[in-house]
């Protein structure tokens, strides 16, 4: 049976990994051509993060630490594949990791603000956003699903985007003032 401390650590690891995973996926994709190899390396990174999570210094950006581990897994991948050269040179991988760390840090508050703003929308507005941007449905398909016209759906989505942009701007400005 897991202790409360172990459960807390596992939850922290899970939250941190889910936030960092898109940046790690992009980093690995930039370095490895084969989709199957990318997925293998990504799984190796996830396992390494789980095994070494106790070593993580909470005072530093988690995504930077994970990208440092990912760099090692990418190098290991090419060594084990007995390839003579990396797709990206070591210094390029380093600069890419730095860039992704900075981008991730900038997007995190914006993503949080978006999530909060989406929660303030009406159920109908959230459904329109979900159908368009999550499910990738065409305007005509959405119009059929909600028994409306394509023009009405376009206008509604425009207004929703405007409202979300305003809401995100206010939340980010309020967060910067703290």
Taking the C-alpha atoms of residue 155 and residue 141, their distance in angstroms, rounded to an integer, is 15
Determine, yes or no, domain membership for 177.
yes
pLDDT given at position 44: 93
Q: What pLDDT is stored for residue 85 in this prediction?
A: 47
Closest CA to 5 of 13, 176, 121: 13
CA distances (Å), 39 to each of 24, 45, 123, 152, in order? 11, 10, 36, 41
The total number of structural domains in the chain stands at 2
Q: Tell me: do 90 and 158 sit in the same domain.
A: no
**Which residues of the chain have a pLDDT value below 50?**
84-86
pLDDT of res. 48: 93
Host domain of residue 142: 121-178
| Same-domain pairing of 56 and 133 | no
Q: Could you tell me if residue 73 is inside a domain?
A: yes
DSSP H helices in 35-89: 35-52, 62-80
Last residue of a domain, one of 58, 74, 106: 106
pLDDT value at position 77?
86
Whether 92 maps to a domain, the answer reads yes
Write down the pLDDT at residue 30. Answer: 84
Are 30 and 99 contacting, i.e. CB atoms less than 8 angstroms apart?
A: no
Provide the sign of the torsion angle of the four alpha carbons 168, 170, 176, 178, taken in this order: negative
Residue 157, domain CATH: 1.10.10.10
Residues 100 and 143 in one domain: no
The mean of the pLDDT values for the chain is 82
What pLDDT does 84 receive? 42
Please, what sign has the CA dihedral across residues 89, 91, 100, 48?
Answer: positive
pLDDT at 142: 92
pTM over 0.85: no
Same domain, 98 and 128: no
């Amino acid at each position: 049976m897991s202790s409360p401390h172990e459960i807390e650590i596992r939850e922290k690891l899970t939250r941190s990994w889910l936030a960092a995973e898109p940046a790690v996926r992009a980093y690995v994709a930039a370095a490895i051509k084969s989709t199957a190899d990318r997925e293998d390396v990504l799984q190796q990174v996830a396992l390494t993060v789980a095994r070494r999570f106790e070593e993580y210094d909470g005072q530093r950006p988690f995504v930077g630490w994970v990208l440092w581990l990912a760099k090692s897994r990418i190098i290991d991948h090419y060594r084990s594949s007995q390839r003579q050269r990396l797709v990206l040179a070591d210094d390029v991988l380093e600069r890419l990791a730095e860039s992704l760390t900075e981008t991730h840090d900038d997007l995190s508050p914006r993503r949080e603000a978006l999530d909060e703003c989406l929660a303030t929308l009406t159920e109908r507005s959230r459904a329109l956003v979900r159908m368009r941007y999550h499910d990738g449905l065409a305007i005509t398909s959405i119009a059929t699903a909600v028994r409306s016209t394509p023009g009405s759906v376009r206008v509604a989505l425009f207004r929703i985007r405007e409202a979300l942009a305003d809401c995100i701007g206010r939340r980010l400005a309020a967060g910067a003032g703290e």
